[in-house]
Structure 1
């Protein structure tokens, strides 16, 4: 529900900026800023919420986030101009944090030998929401109007808040402030900080690679010859990746528990590099759609593997802070990715966005391989 609430409004954000009276020459910039400012704000405050979660528990932070976002997202229905849009999007980012705390809660409660499956199931729910959101958001905007969609999103988040209060259970004893482990000690007690840094960077690159093609995907599809049903075909190709990821996350999480999450992560990185490279060679929209669908199996393995490995190398007392820093890197990837795609497309052309992205993923694969090869004998890490 939180994944859907975020993605519901994406299809018509630029149109809403236009409706609010933004100057014509600045509509695209302000729409992009409205999306990026929320992710950037979340990146800056994630460590703070993570520290509070380690003191008071993950469930209270989930309740806080869903309650605050009920108003920051629902309030967008009543704003008079684009400056209020930017302000509420900023506030939404500052008070966000439902997903990383849900991840930390499941990671702390699930048995370690089942963490890949548990986190994969969570990823399935998030992916399903991100998949359904854009398809549902455009339809609701035409049926109800854009402002009423924001009210609907606020209502969704309120339901999420109530469900979290009454249905989510956590085995956690609040810690006195003086007894909270300092952040420096949390990182000092990580079993291997080189692997930790590699996982943080991997999370960032996962989102850079996912977001780099977003600004140019519809234009690339048109470049491949699709003109009559461009918006429908674009939506279908975008959704195909989420659909395959949703189908595979929990199953691949189980495989990671069996063969080792480090091995699954390396396989998924190399597989993702291959799929991105092949997307740059696509000659028709059908080929691109099939390759994007196949690429989704790679993303279905990546985040559960990263989260499971973070769980295994991090001290339980600082787990929320580790996940909050990982989320910070993910948010930075969401900010950097679209700028990378736009710059490469402008300078080199659409196909090179996929080639450059594949090179970024391959460099991450090489770094991860060297990290895990060096520490592969440390059984308690993997």
Structure 2
């Protein structure tokens, strides 16, 4: 699964360095409108992700988490391939909506790993898993920018689909799951499945964690809209290439921090790591309000990537430690709804900020977002998270 997350992370992150530029290639010339359409193209998948995530999670608990992971990987690959065939910007938006219905690679693979790992080793396992995702996030933008520069934007979408399909083959051939199928005659959706799920995620222990996850995944993707346009303003010769390098650096630092925070979680405490990393990230975003050189921006992104990786890993681990093993698939499906809603809302907000205010205000919004996360974790989550233990 470590290798699978590398390939899936590469494929999913192929498009982000050039998506605003691809929108321009589809006929939207004005920078403000291009930012708004790019944010819409990313953000439109949020609604179906929110609705379908728990459904896919319950089905994974019912029919097997490996099958669910395979479904998500190959369906996402097909959606990316079709995006490469877009000829109008609304084609891209519609396909991103379909992508939201079928995707869930991270959630399904995380549920598969968490369900087959001893509970005391979940923090380290999820840390290792997120380090592989971060490596994919590192290599994806670089390769995506390279393919886009040499072969064109459409070829980059096709290559991304191929990487995901290869990851799916690895899951099919190598992943193992000791899944016990439900007895014959069991309803597809037991009458109390969603009631039990709602009781779980609305509990005082889990609900604050879901709010944390929304903020955690809301803030970073705002950069997808703002950073390419900022680098374009700096008159950098290859904007797609420079953006790929920038996102790759963030991914590399996130990978290092993911592995380290997973190892430290049982020693220092997950909540302490999230609070410290959130404060650090909030301060690290602020220099981007003023910096005007590519090297100085890269230096700032180095620290942002480190703090971001620590936050992502430890916040996801909170879910794995908070819920019973029998409900891990549904819980991570719900987590997918929350996190991907944040992931898609972030670019929408960034697009609105860019079109109405200024590119730099996006970084201020990111700083405020992660600093509010530190306050939330230090107060509400700290109070309720350890109040009860999962069975």
TM-score per shorter chain, which class? 0.7 to 0.9
Of the three residues 205, 217, 220, the one matched with 2:227 is 217
Aligned Cα root-mean-square deviation (Å)? 2.9
Of residues 292, 297, 305 in structure 2, which corresponds to 1:288? 297
Q: Indicate yes or no: 2:283 matched with 1:274.
A: yes
Other-structure match for 1:354: 363
Q: Higher mean Cα deviation, 54-63 or 89-98?
A: 89-98
Offset, 1:171:
1.9
Greater CA drift, 305-314 or 212-221? 212-221
TM-score normalized by the length of structure 2 = 0.85
1:102: Cα distance to partner?
Answer: 0.5
Moved more, 83-92 or 169-178: 83-92
Partner of residue 138, structure 2: 131
2:343 to 334, 339, 354: 334
| Farther-moved stretch of structure 1 (276-285 vs 302-311) | 276-285
Is 1:66 the counterpart of 2:78? The answer is no
User: Which among 198, 210, 216 is matched to residue 200 of structure 1?
Assistant: 210
- Where structure 1 has 5 or more consecutive residues not aligned to the other structure, the ranges are none
Q: Which has the higher contact order (CA 8 A, sep 6+)?
A: 2
Instruction: Label 1:222 to 1:329 Cα distance change in 2 as closer, same or farther (>3 A).
Output: same
Q: 1:311 to 1:137 in 2, by over 3 A?
A: same
* Partner Cα separation in structure 1 for residue 320 and residue 120 of structure 2: 11
Equivalent-residue separation in structure 1 for 2:243 and 2:328 (angstroms): 39
Give 1:108's match in structure 2, choosing from 115, 126, 130: 115
Is the Cα–Cα contact under 8 Å of residues 124 and 247 in structure 1 kept in the other structure? yes
Task: Give distance in 2, aligned partners of 1:102 and 1:343.
Answer: 33
Moved more, 33-42 or 63-72: 33-42
Query: 1:2 maps to what in 2?
Result: 8
Whether 1:242 aligns to 2:251 is yes
Q: CA 1:287 to 1:373, structure 2 compared with 1: closer, same or farther past 3 Å?
A: same
Q: Which moved more, 1:365-374 or 1:164-173?
A: 365-374
Aligned residues of 1:40 and 1:331 also touching (Cα < 8 A):
no
CA distance in structure 1 between the aligned counterparts of 2:358 and 2:92, rounded to whole angstroms: 33
CA distance in 1, matches of 2:38, 2:282: 30
Kept in 2, the 8 Å contact 1:218–1:230? The answer is no
SS in 1 for 2:164: helix
Cα distance in structure 2, aligned partners of 1:150 and 1:372 = 40
Q: After superposition, what is the alpha-carbon deviation per residue over 1:255-313, rounded to whole angstroms, capped at 9, x for unaligned?
A: 01222222222222222222223444657543332222012121111122122211121
Structure 2 equivalent of residue 185 of structure 1: 196
Alpha-carbon distance change, 75 to 238 in structure 1, aligned in 2, over 3 angstroms: closer
Check whether the contact 2:145–2:244 (CA below 8 A) recurs between aligned residues: no
Mapped to 2, the partners of 1:297 and 1:328 lie a distance apart of 25
Measured against aligned partners, the alpha-carbon deviations of 1:230-270 in whole angstroms (never above 9, x if no partner) come to 72544433332221111221121010122222222222222
Once the two structures are superposed, residues 83-103 of structure 1 have per-residue CA deviations (whole angstroms, 9 ceiling, x without a partner) of: 544433322221111210111
C-alpha distance after superposition, 1:195-232 (max 9, x if no partner): 42221121111222212343233454577xx4344725
TM-score (norm 1): 0.86
Q: State how far apart, in whole Å, the 2-side matches of 1:147 and 1:218 are.
A: 18
Partner SS, residue 224 of structure 2:
coil
Alignment of 1:28-177 (within 5 A): 29-78=36-85, 81-176=88-183, 177=186
> Which structure 2 residue ranges, 5 or more long, are not aligned?
1-6
Conservation of the 8 A alpha-carbon contact between 1:183 and 1:318 = no
Map of 2:3 onto structure 1: none
d(CA) in 2 for partners of 1:273, 1:79 = 37
CA distance in 2, matches of 1:375, 1:90: 35
Residue pair 2:17, 2:224 contacting (<8 A) in 1 also: no
Shift of 1:164: 1.0
The CA deviation at 1:50 is 0.9
